[in-house]
A and B are shown apart, each in its own frame.
Chain A
Amino acid sequence: DAGVIQSPRHEVTEMGQEVTLRCKPISGHDYLFWYRQTMMRGLELLIYFNNNVPIDDSGMPEDRFSAKMPNASFSTLKIQPSEPRDSAVYFCASSLGRRYGNTIYFGEGSWLTVV
């Protein structure tokens, strides 16, 4: 089975530009998570969805960040405008939920550098 697929793998952009990160969860999974990882702050949960509905977005750092899940097989995380402090690895992850053992599966990450 294909795992969680993220794109782009690497992105370098200039400050002020819009960045869109994309994620395709594992087919059949009903939970989708967006995490951010930095050396300073470690792994942070930004937002998660259940059945395409945002459940908890309290980790989204500010209004410049937005996430959508228009259908069960696609999600985006958008940063507009981007700033150098947004440089990080952004992970998408999905799971089947607690009743199925609840294992969360991560994508390979999108490595974002804002200059």
Chain B
Amino acid sequence: GDSVTQMEGPVTLSEEAFLTINCTYTATGYPSLFWYVQYPGEGLQLLLKATKADDKGSNKGFEATYRKETTSFHLEKGSVQVSDSAVYFCALSAVSGNQFYFGTGTSLTVIP
């Protein structure tokens, strides 16, 4: 069945460091792919998305490219800030139906 696998956390980085959070997926066809962010005490918020192969989603300095050949959607940011400290979830929306599949989440802490 469809699923998402993302890198284990927690991740701790210094401010201005480069961030990569890996996400790979298993699905039939061409699912839509998403990154959501959850700040402490809040719900999940859409960070970016891509709906077809080779699409690049971007928002707030974060980017992720939909790679069909490697079934990946890695999240990157060139220079993280303390305010980026949060839990990041990779998610997939199946081709058939409206089912969503979420990864286990990766906790990021950015230290000054």
Please report A residues at the B interface, Cβ cutoff 8 Å: 4, 31, 33, 42-43, 45, 48, 50, 56, 91, 93, 95, 97-98, 101-109
Contacts and interface: CB of A to CB of B under 8 A. Distances in A.
B91 to A, nearest CB: 8
Contact of B99 (A56, A103, A109): A56
B49 A31 contact: no
Nearest to B104: A42
B98 A43 contact: no
A91 B98 contact: no
B49 A103 contact: yes
Instruction: Please classify the interface of chain A as helix (H, G, I), strand (E, B), loop, or mixed, using the class held by over half of its residues.
Output: strand
A31 B98 contact: yes
Query: How would you classify the secondary structure of chain B's contact residues: helix, strand, loop or mixed?
Result: strand
Contacts of B99: 48, 56
A43 B102 contact: yes
Interface centre among B36, B46, B93, B104 (most CB of A within 10 A): B93
A94 to B, nearest CB: 11
Given A102-B93, A103-B34, A97 B43 contact: no
Nearest to A107: B43
A35 B102 CA distance: 11
